[in-house]
Structure 1
Amino acid sequence: MDFRLTRDQRDLRAGVRDLLAGRYGRDALRSAVSSAPAGGAGGAVVDRGLWRELGEAGFFSLRLPESEGGVGLGLPEAVLVFEEAGRALLPGPLVATHLAAGVVPGAASGSAVVTAFDLGGPLVAYLGEADAVLGATGLPAGEPAASVDPLTPLWKSPGAAGVPPSPYREAGALLTAALQLGSALRTVELAVRYAGEREQFGQPVGAFQAVKHLCAEMLVRAEVARTAVYAAAVTGDAAEIAAAKLLADEAAVRGARDCLQVHGGMGFTWEADVHLHLKRAWVRAEQWRTAREAEELLATRLTAEAGCSE
């Protein structure tokens, strides 16, 4: 099986990166963070204009058949697109709206914002901005709740199901893993760049062995996660998707932490972007499939396979 990207896939990824760089670059990210509600409680962070532009570009209708007005591509291509969105820290219920294309009116075109019960318990992200909830009838009532990520406003809703809608769970977990992968790869870039710019004792800090090791470990985790995510996108196997989510969560969270350490005191300041990657990674790790759920699924699969081989 050939996992190498085709030219069309590489062009797709480059096109999405260029689109996001021009429409949601660092200045737009920092502006959104500055205007976000304090504590990430409630508020509005979804740029409806950008949301519609994403719809026009086929971001949400990517996997819809051409006969239904979609692009007609598959999960491997969707993973590449979501990887770029994760790299740019693009906010909003991207996964839920993508999954709702063809199901919820306006989702495919980006004229509707669709969220999902993809967090455990009564918490729902972006509920105050959503036009619909994936797999639910109507919008449940809710009240703003504190969020660690300023660009992921949370709402506490007694009507939340507490579990992701099962027909979409595997694709939702994989696309969230792709978002985590993009963030992990971006923190590698940030760490390497800073290590080459920051000097101590007359030389870049990247020349020191401890910093080299941190950057190397970040890269290894990110590339292992990339392999797992790409492979799961091709096979669509539930266990492989669980493994991909597990590895991507680890790469994103640990990568952001190591990137903070490479930056030293600068990394903990509000002006640096590193903390935004860490906070978003924490939230995504709880979406669609947690580490514990992924481990349980993998353990069940391995136990079943061991029993069959006896």
Structure 2
Amino acid sequence: MSDGVKKQVPLPFVYTFTAGAIAGCTELLLLYPLDVVKTRQQLDTSAKGAGMMETFRNIIKLEGPGRLYRGIIPPLMLEAPKRAVKFGANGYWGGVFTNNGQTKMTQSLAIVTGFAAGATESFVVTPFELVKIRLQDKKSTFKGPMEVIQHSFKTHGPLGLYQGMEATFWRHTWWNAGYFGTIFGVKGMLPKPESKQAEVMNNFISGTIGGFIGTTLNTPFDVIKSRVQLSGTGPWSYPGLYQVAKAEGFGALYKGFAPKVLRLAPGGGVLLLVVEALSAVFRKQLGPPYI
């Protein structure tokens, strides 16, 4: 029996894929320098590493402002498929878990859906992340992405680009589960929007909080991932967390957290704003039952 509530059918994968791609490139171009600073802090294995602003100033002073955008080509090439897969997979798995919108989405399902989307995303992003990390390293002598790829193939074969895959898996599953689960919960707590401006604000608030929660959950795995991908070897994620905490202190698991959260908290809001805006346009074009 129908409960009288109109069920909105999830958008086809190609539309959520496209919306995610455009949103990802927008967010990256705005906030990439923070990612460079984050990586530098995570690769610093000293007990007392430099802070965010000190790292930022040192890069500009010693290497020049252009260094803040070094390595942007791989993530720019990646950002479209990465974010596209993130939102496309989330939409796909959401359709699977809700029987194409016939079952009501809950926060638990939103978390499970995000986890599945993160797992899917990790298979796409690992090679791009490896190239980016090796270009962002302070001691990097690689001239560009192709040289990193050639070196990886020469030293470890085709699967060399998938070094750090396990840590990348955990980084993305925890972020997506936290991000999409939080968005669902926060939207449920916010007043129902009665205008377009209120809807935009709700999306930005929920996306920003989601980005903060996702970043808090996944930063330790990001630290492990960065180190494994730079060196080409290292421990599995969970034993690695213990080793880092033991050698450098618990705080080392959150190296790079400040620039990371400053990027991915508002970045999460930007992502959701762009995705929701484009989704609304797509739904209007497609008509019922998508609106």
User: Taking structure 1 as the reference length, what is the TM-score of the superposition?
Assistant: 0.26
User: Taking structure 2 as the reference length, what is the TM-score of the superposition?
Assistant: 0.27
Highest relative contact order (Cα 8 Å, sep 6+), 1 or 2? 2
